[in-house]
Amino acid sequence: MLYEKKGTGEMKDYILSVDLGTTSIKQALVTAEGTILASSSREYELLTPESSWVECSEDTYWEAFKSGLKEVLEKTGSTAENIRALGISAQGETFFCMGGDGRILRNAIVWMDNRAMEEADELRNVFSDELCYRKTGQVSFDPCWPASKLLWLRRKEPELFKKTKKFMLMEDWLIWRLTGRIVSEGSLLCSTVYWDINTKRYWPEMLAYLGIGEEQLPEILEPGTAAGTVTDSAAQETGLSVNTTVCTGALDQAAGAIGAGNIKEGIISENIGAALAICAPVKKPVFDPNQVMPLHYFGLPDMYMLHTFTTGGMALKWFRDTFCTEEKSVSRLTGINAYDLINSEADRIPEGCDGLRVLPHLSGSMAPDVNPKAKGVVYGFTLKHTKAHFGRAIMESIGFIVRRNIEALENMGLGFQEIRSLGGGSRSHVWNQIKADINQKELAIAGGDEAACLGAAVLAGTAVGIFSGAEDAVKRIAGVRRRYYPRSEKKEVYDMAYADYKQLFSGLDEVFETTYRGK
């Protein structure tokens, strides 16, 4: 993708991509050729009124959206009339309660909120985690799922619960604010655990237990479907055109996979941000017999994805902030990114880090090795090891988690010829080569930090006919920028290091259990 300077011509068929993130809203104006003309990002503060609560006001989201849109239009010198379609990439699980008068009744409850622990246990006891997995693709009833939180609202805020006419997810809310229509799609709905991934309809027994009806939930569309055009009132408030078509989008990780060109079986994508997310599209629902690999609806109609996430870049960020004072000082003086300095130092260390091993589970471990009590571990360091060894060992440990996920998926009968890498971690040449060598698979960079916005553009552009289909859109938008090829001579040392990683993790199960303090 290239960034163009402010234009003066009357270019048409732009797509506005909106990435509704946890702590920021990012927007990008994309051409039909995949050029990003301009982008903006607006951060916002989340509210934590109680220790396990996380909320955000509707006004905070709306003002961030409007402000970011204004910046994008000013940067390009374009008019809103040139925006033919608006596409969305959205965080999952965050939801709003709308009253009968069309007003939002309370702050949005954000996905990371864990207030509904007792309700999650109750749902587990009534329905069982096994049924949850077979019905929804989610491996267990957790407090972060909207079903658990709706039960909490019914018990703790009964008057508000009774007044709620519609429960909407984050993507649904923005579409409603812009078009007046209340719709949703499967890639977000599957983690509510009140949507049946087999039938692609709401789960009647779950709705009955929660005390809500289908009329209180959005109409279900497929991802990448035209939902409506911008209303007069929304146009006046935002500066958008009434001729812009607003389209359903996809869960952020699904959108990122699409923006990286991962739209068919045989390719797996990994996204290293604060967390490491793995996405593997499949043509039909594939349930893990061990019930550890979550199954999601994908961002393309009638496709699914096996999707996991766990500790990722936050481990390297912790290392930078805790031990790399010199690198951060040099960064401030020279403008060179501190991570680039860490990469340069790590590149001088031999593969396998002279026996140094890291378990990077700073906030527990997720699928396929689920253990919320897991902790970070450093093993095998001697007088020979330097700070650079530790930086590289963290990078290698994330590569081992990618390999562990691929191994689990291959044990389910899936095969992968290529890894697509996106997110902040994909900027590191050193890290990319490490991942290619550890997994002995070709690794391609497509989309990078912009993958989610590009994925939203693929969906919206296809919905309004700018592209003939997803494959056409990906060819035009999600071109591979660079490839990393596995070096066969590195296989033996990484096979040994990976075996050490797995043995360490399994051998510390009892230690994690006996030393867990809930924090």
pLDDT per residue over 257-311, tens digit each? 999 999 999 999 999 988 899 999 999 999 999 898 999 999 999 999 999 988 7
The architecture that CATH gives domain 14-248 is 2-Layer Sandwich (3.30)
Return the closest-CA partner of residue 9 out of 85, 80, 78, 83: 78
Q: Would the pLDDT of 79 be above 80?
A: yes
Separation between Cα atoms, residue 27 and residue 240, nearest integer Å = 13
Residue 414 confidence (pLDDT) = 93
Separation between Cα atoms, residue 448 and residue 444, nearest integer Å = 10
Separation between Cα atoms, residue 256 and residue 465, nearest integer Å = 21
Q: Mean pLDDT over residues 73-98, rounded?
A: 96
**If you ran DSSP here, which 8-state letter would residue 350 be given?**
P
Q: Would the pLDDT of 9 be above 50?
A: no
Q: What tokens does 239 get?
A: 């500066």
Residues 308, 320 contacting (CB under 8 angstroms): no
Residue 449 confidence (pLDDT) = 77
Q: Given 3-state DSSP classes, what are the helix, strand and coil percentages for the chain, each rounded to the nearest 5?
A: 45, 25, 35
Return the closest-CA partner of residue 391 out of 348, 436, 441: 348
Secondary structure of residue 17 in the 3-state scheme: strand
Q: Confirm whether 14-248 and 314-404+490-515 share one CATH topology.
A: yes
Q: What tokens does 1 get?
A: 């993708």
* Segments making up each domain of the chain, as ranges: 14-248, 314-404+490-515
Q: Would the pLDDT of 493 be above 80?
A: yes
Instruction: Classify domain 314-404+490-515 at the CATH topology level.
Output: Nucleotidyltransferase; domain 5 (3.30.420)
Residue 144 confidence (pLDDT) = 93
Q: Mean pLDDT over residues 316-335, rounded?
A: 96
Q: Which residues are registered as beta bridge partners of 419?
A: 268, 443
Residue 148 confidence (pLDDT) = 97
Residue 72 confidence (pLDDT) = 97
Residues 322, 329 contacting (CB under 8 angstroms): no
Q: Would the pLDDT of 448 be above 80?
A: no
Share of the chain above pLDDT 90, in %: 86
SS3 per-residue string spanning 210-259:
HCCCHHHCCEEECCCCEEEECCHHHHHHHCCCCCCEEECCEEHHHHHHHH
Residues 93, 146 contacting (CB under 8 angstroms): yes
Choose the weakest-confidence range: 133-147, 376-390, 504-518. 504-518
Residue 519 confidence (pLDDT) = 52
Phi, psi of 21 (to 5 degrees): -90, 175
Q: What is the chain's mean pLDDT, rounded?
A: 94
Residue 439 confidence (pLDDT) = 97
Residue 8 confidence (pLDDT) = 42
